[in-house]
Amino acid sequence: MTAGLAVLVALSVLLFVGAIVMLLFFCRRIQVQRERESLVFIQEPTDVYREELNDSFMEQALWRCGVCKFLNHPERKLCDLCQTLRGAERDVAGSKKHSRSSFSRGSLSSNSTQRMGRIGETEAFSSAQADDAIGGSFGRPSFEFSRKPKSSNKMSKLQLAASRRQQWKRMPTTDGLHRWVRQQSARRQSRAGQRDSMESDPGGRMSLNRYLDATERDSNLSIGYIRVRDSLGRLVLNESDVVATDFHYRINILDGAGSSELIMNLEGVHNLPFPDKIRWFSTEIHRLWLPWESGHAELVVRRDHLLQDSFELVAAMKPYQLRQRWRVVFDGEPALDAGGVMREWFTLLFAELFDPGFGLFVSTVGDERSYWINASSDLLLGEEEHLAYFEFAGRLVGKAILEEHLMPVHLALPFLKHILGVPISFSDLQFLDDEIYNSALMVKKIDDIEPLCLDFTATRIVDGKPEIVELVEGGANIDVTRENRSRYLDALFKYHVLGSVSDQLLSFLTALYDVVPEGLLKLFDYQELELLMCGVPSIDVEDWKKHTDFKFFTHNFPTELELNNIEWFWEVVEDMRNEDRVRLLQFATGTSRVPAQGFKGLISSDGRVRRFNVAFAGANQSFLFPKAHTCFNRLDLPIYNSKVVLAEYVNLIVQMDITGFTIE
C-alpha cells in the first residue's frame, strides 16, 4: 500500500512537472510568434514617395528648440537643425575668451594657402559676440566626420547660425514684390525698456536670451546686403532695403516637345512647419522629373578617372537632360543601378570635387568645417576651365537636390545665403574665417588704429607666395584711420563674401537654377536648406530601429538565435560612436546621412521609399562578414552564435573602406 502510494505521488509530480514544461513551451511559442509578427520583413509599397509619408503625431506634439525655434519630431533628442539637446538650452556661460588677433603688415591677411584648402590659420573660434560657452547641461553635439563634436562648454557655429535664421523676413510691398526687413526678436520686444536683473550667477552663467541678444545686437549694427546682377550681368552686393525680390515660384516645365510656365506664390507655403514644407517641396520636385520612358541618360565613368569623366558627360548635357533620370555605371563593374551605384557616385564625386587640393573649393577656417569658393581657382585651373567646373558643380548640387540624394559636404553659411538670395551681413564673415573676423572686430573697436599700419588691401597666399589685392582703387596708398575704418571694414567684408569669388559664384548659381528653380529653393531658410541638402547630422538609433524590417532565413518562424541576433545587433549599434554608425549606414545604403524625414524617408533611385532592412543569410561559418545591397538599403547578416562574434564582424566592416558593386 505504501509502495503504491509512493508511485502515485511520483506520477503526480511527473505529470505536474510535465504540465509546467508544456505551459512554458507554449508561452515561449506565443512570445516568439508575437516577436516574429513585430519583426517580419515587409516590402514597402512601390508607389510610396516621401511626400506621401504621414507623420504619426499632431503638429502640437512637436517640441520647439530654445536656440533656433525649430519644431522637432517629439521622439528627437537633439534638434535636427542645430543639434541642441532637448530641454538643455536654458543657460549660456557668460565667460568671454578673446583669441589673439594677428595682422599682416599693411593689410588683414587671409593667409590663404589655396592648394591646402585654407583661407587662414587660426586658433579655435572666439569673439566678443559669439564665443560664449554653453552651459554644462548641454549634451555633446555630434557631427559626422568633418563636423567634429563640440565640447560641452562651447556654443557651436551651427547653433549660432541657426539662432539667427529668422533675423530677416520678406515683407510684401504694394507693387507685388517683397523686401527684406530685419526682425526684432520676440525676446527683445518683450523686454523693451526693462532691465534684465539676471546679469549672471556666481558661476559666471547668463541666460540664453541675454546671450542671443548680445550676438543679435552686433549683427543688427551691420548693414544687410543681397547679391544682385548689375547692368553688365555681374554679381554685386546691394543694400537689402533697396532690393525688391520676387517671392514667386516660376518654372518652365521642359520636355522634348517644348515648355510651359508655372507661377506660384510661396508666401503661404514658406510659413508652414518644416515637415509640411518638405512634403510640398518633394511633390514639386517630382513634377520636374522627366519620365524614364521619355528619355534617360546613362553615365559610364571610370573609377580612376571619376571627376574627369563625369565632368565631360554632365557638361555636354542639354538643360532638359539635367531633369531626365540618370543611370550611372562604373566601367568594368557589373551592377544594376537601383540607387546604390548613383549614391556612391555622388559620394565619391563630391569628395573629389570639393577636395581643396583640386583647387575649386576651400575649407573654412574654424571649429566646424564647411566649404567655400576658392578665390584663386582661376590661377590653379585656368581662366576658362575653372568657370566650367563651377558650372559642373552647380549642376551636380542641383541634381543631388532634384534626385533627393544627400550631400556629404556642407556649404558655408554665406554660400547658402547667396543660393537663397538672403541678406548677408558683417557677422557672417565669422563663418568663413575666424581669424579675419576676429581681427576685423579688433579694428572695429580699438581706439588707436594707426600703429597697426593697415591700408585698403587684403593679402592672400597662392602656392606659398603672398599676393596683395586692393580693396578699392589705389587702396595700397590709403591708410586705415579711425575716420575711414568703417569704409575699410565694409570693403574688406564685401571682398571676402563676394568680390573675390563673384565670377565663380555666378557660374555655380546659373547652373544650379537650371536644374532646380531658384524660386523653389526660396521656400526654405538657409539652415532648413542645409538640412534638406545634407540631412540630419546625428543618427538616432531609436528612429533607426523603428523603421527597420527583418527577413528571417526560414521565412516562416524566426529562430531563437535570430531573435538574439536582432537584440545583439542593436546593442552593438547603440554602443558605437556616431561616426561608426555613419560608416555602417554608408556601407549598407551608400549614403552617410539620414534624410530630414528620418529613417522612414530612405529611398531608392526612383524616389520611392525603401526602408532599411536586414536579411538573415543563414549560419554559414565559412563566411561571417555582413554583406550590403545598397540599391535596396539592405544588410545581409549571417546568423552569429554570440554577440561577441557579431560585434567583431560588424565593427570590422565599419573600419573598412569598401566601395564597388558586383551582381549577386
pLDDT in tens, 107-138: 555 443 333 333 333 333 333 333 332 222 22
- Greater confidence (457 vs 211) lies with 457
For residues 535-545, average pLDDT: 90
Instruction: Specify whether the CB–CB gap between 68 and 165 falls below 8 A.
Output: yes
Q: pLDDT band for 213, please (50, 70, 90 cuts).
A: low
For residues 267-285, average pLDDT: 88
Distance between CA 493 and CA 414 in Å, rounded? 11
Is a pLDDT exceeding 70 seen at residue 577?
yes
Q: Identify the DSSP state of 138.
A: S
Same domain, 530 and 610: no
Final residue of a domain: which of 510, 534, 558? Answer: 534
Distance between CA 340 and CA 233 in Å, rounded? 40
| Look-up of cell digits 539637446 | 85
Same domain, 514 and 585: no
Instruction: Specify whether the CB–CB gap between 448 and 434 falls below 8 A.
Output: no
Is a pLDDT exceeding 90 seen at residue 208?
no
Instruction: Specify whether the CB–CB gap between 613 and 630 falls below 8 A.
Output: no
For residue 481, what pLDDT is reported? Answer: 94
Q: Residue 109: how many CA atoms within 13 Å on its side-chain side? A: 20
Instruction: Specify whether the CB–CB gap between 387 and 507 falls below 8 A.
Output: yes
- Within-domain flag for 342: yes
Is a pLDDT exceeding 70 seen at residue 3?
no
Most confident of 3-7, 29-33, 427-431: 427-431
Q: Work out the mean pLDDT of the chain and round it to a whole number.
A: 78
For residue 508, what pLDDT is reported? Answer: 98
- Within-domain flag for 464: no
Same domain, 514 and 610: no
Closest to 508 (Cα-Cα) out of 398, 359, 376: 398
What is the CA angle 344-348-352, rounded to 5?
165
Residue range(s) defining the domain that contains residue 363: 266-424+502-534
What is the CA angle 195-197-201, rounded to 5?
145
Number of domains in the chain: 3
Q: What are phi and psi of 47, to 5 degrees?
A: -110, 20
- Within-domain flag for 277: yes
Distance between CA 186 and CA 195 in Å, rounded? 16
For residue 413, what pLDDT is reported? Answer: 97
Closest to 167 (Cα-Cα) out of 142, 143, 184, 190: 184
For residues 359-380, average pLDDT: 92
Same domain, 578 and 608: yes
- Within-domain flag for 193: no
Is a pLDDT exceeding 90 seen at residue 431?
yes
- Within-domain flag for 257: no
Q: pLDDT band for 622, please (50, 70, 90 cuts).
A: low
Q: Could you tell me which residues are beta bridge partners of residue 560?
A: none
**Across the chain, how many H-helices and E-strands are there?**
20, 22
User: pLDDT tens across 136-180, in order?
Assistant: 222 322 223 334 444 445 678 899 999 999 899 888 888 888 889
Final residue of a domain: which of 513, 534, 555? Answer: 534
Same domain, 642 and 511: no
Same domain, 412 and 561: no
Q: pLDDT band for 223, please (50, 70, 90 cuts).
A: confident
What is the percent of the chain with per-residue pLDDT over 90, rounded to a whole number?
43
For residue 105, what pLDDT is reported? Answer: 39
Same domain, 530 and 550: no
CATH number for the domain that contains residue 313: 3.90.1750.10
Q: pLDDT band for 654, please (50, 70, 90 cuts).
A: confident
Is a pLDDT exceeding 90 seen at residue 32?
no
Same domain, 517 and 388: yes
- From the list 65, 82, 534, 631, the catalytic residue is 631
For residue 246, what pLDDT is reported? Answer: 81
Is a pLDDT exceeding 90 seen at residue 607?
no
For residue 603, what pLDDT is reported? Answer: 81
Same domain, 549 and 619: yes
Report H helices in 63-207: 157-163, 186-190
For residue 474, what pLDDT is reported? Answer: 95
Same domain, 641 and 530: no
- Within-domain flag for 30: yes
CA dihedral 112, 114, 115, 118 (to 10 degrees): 60
Same domain, 394 and 281: yes
CATH number for the domain that contains residue 584: 3.30.2410.10
Q: Could you tell me which residues are beta bridge partners of residue 207?
A: 91
Report H helices in 164-223: 186-190, 208-220
For residue 142, what pLDDT is reported? Answer: 29
Final residue of a domain: which of 512, 534, 556? Answer: 534
Long-range contacts of 560-563 (CB under 8 A, 24+ apart): 560/32, 561/619, 561/639, 561/641, 562/616, 562/639, 563/32, 563/35, 563/39
- Within-domain flag for 515: yes
Q: Is 631 a catalytic residue?
A: yes
Q: pLDDT band for 629, please (50, 70, 90 cuts).
A: confident
Same domain, 584 and 553: yes
- Within-domain flag for 119: no
What the block records as the C-alpha cell of 40 is: 517580419
Longest dimension (CA), the chain: 125
